[in-house]
Amino acid sequence: MSYVRVEQGKDFVLDQPLAGVGADLRVLSSLLEPGTYRLISYQRQCELTCESLDPPSDMCSGQFSLKPEAQVTADISVSRDGCSIRFTG
């Protein structure tokens, strides 16, 4: 299961599962005030029925700035070689 976490400074802003790999920050932008944020992507493997999830793994992060009425998209790639985030917008 893929998750995305957003932090601003030392403050936690958002932590939610993703429907797929990738995070469309255009959707998240409606929840965020203009400013500088850190996006953290991580995976939690599940066992059989997914009632219990493993600790976070394949973690990566990147920083982005959100300007008033701006749209930012984060393309998150997870592979055997690790995780990477590319911001556009």
pLDDT of residue 1: 78
pLDDT of residue 25: 62
Query: What is the model's pTM?
Result: 0.79
d(CA 32, CA 13): 8
d(CA 12, CA 82): 24
Read off the tokens for 78: 């997870």
**Residues 10-38: tens digit of each pLDDT:** 898 888 887 654 455 656 666 788 999 99
Looking at the predicted structure, is the pLDDT value of residue 86 above 80?
A: yes
d(CA 9, CA 27): 21
**Residues 47-81: tens digit of each pLDDT:** 777 788 888 888 899 999 988 888 788 888 888 88
